[in-house]
Amino acid sequence: MKKVYYVILIFILLYSFLIFLWVLYPASIFGLKYNVTSRLKFKDLNKGPYLFIVDHRDPPHTDIMIMSQEVHNSKNPEKFTLLSGRSERFYTNFLYYTKYNIIEKKSNTTQKCIDKLKNNENVVIFLRDDSKGKGIYYILKETNIPIIFVKKKLIKNSTNKKLENHIFKYRGMEYNIDYNLISEYDIKNKNSEEFMNWIKKNLYSY
């Protein structure tokens, strides 16, 4: 019976240590590397609130790690809210142990994002290229705040040719990250589908 307790204790200590490393180094904890190549840096984005829209193509957990690292390194991480859903993969739920805020993808997600932005908080949304959601359109139509497109470009990949979501595949991957600020955009003369097509066109062009 003592052996079982020891195993449980070791598991708890190991998991706690991983959480500690995640809080300090969200991107590099699993060997992922990135470089911000745009002139605009995260530290320059201090006149928000902004809606960050992040390229969430496969493997999507890489950009969650990168943005977590960027927010953690900011002066006011508590002024950021990340939109995310719970995952079956235990390590992707590390982002719930952090200095910033989380909105889970459950009910009234769009309104919760609007409330955060109106409270002068920044919101980070991860957008897949095949997403059919229109929440971004309604958020921006209500708030009309600046957009930050966060583009990612894979420049090195020695371990994950199939772009799998696997912690042992991230070491050897390296991205270039580009921040693009859009302060003015035409949302009044576009319907939700037209506007989301414009969003994706801007986000996925590099």
Q: How far is CA 184 from CA 26, 41, 140, 148, in A?
A: 32, 19, 11, 11
Q: What is the DSSP letter of 56?
A: -
Which whole number is the average pLDDT over 136-160?
A: 93
pLDDT at 2: 67
List, in order, residues 6 or more apart from 131 with CB less than 8 Å away. Answer: none
pLDDT at 179: 95
Q: Among 27, 39, 55, 42, which Cα is nearest to 130's?
A: 55
Say which amino acid occupies 118: K
Q: Read off the tokens for 76.
A: 């006011």
- Percentage of residues in the chain with pLDDT exceeding 90? 41
pLDDT at 85: 62
pLDDT at 4: 72
pLDDT per position as a tens digit, 128-137:
888 888 999 9
Q: Note whether 53 and 140 are within 8 A (CB).
A: no
What does the angle CA 58 – CA 170 – CA 105 come to, to the nearest 5 degrees? Answer: 45
Q: Is the pLDDT of residue 166 over 90?
A: no
Q: Note whether 91 and 18 are within 8 A (CB).
A: yes
pLDDT, greater one: 186 or 90: 186
Which whole number is the average pLDDT over 40-60?
A: 89
Q: Is the peptide bond before 49 cis (omega within 30 degrees of 0)?
A: yes
Which whole number is the average pLDDT over 155-175?
A: 84
Which residue bears the tokens 């409330």?
115
When pLDDT is cut at 50, 70 and 90, the band that residue 92 belongs to is low
Out of 4-8, 12-16, 93-97, least confident range:
93-97
Beta bridge partners of 124: 52, 82
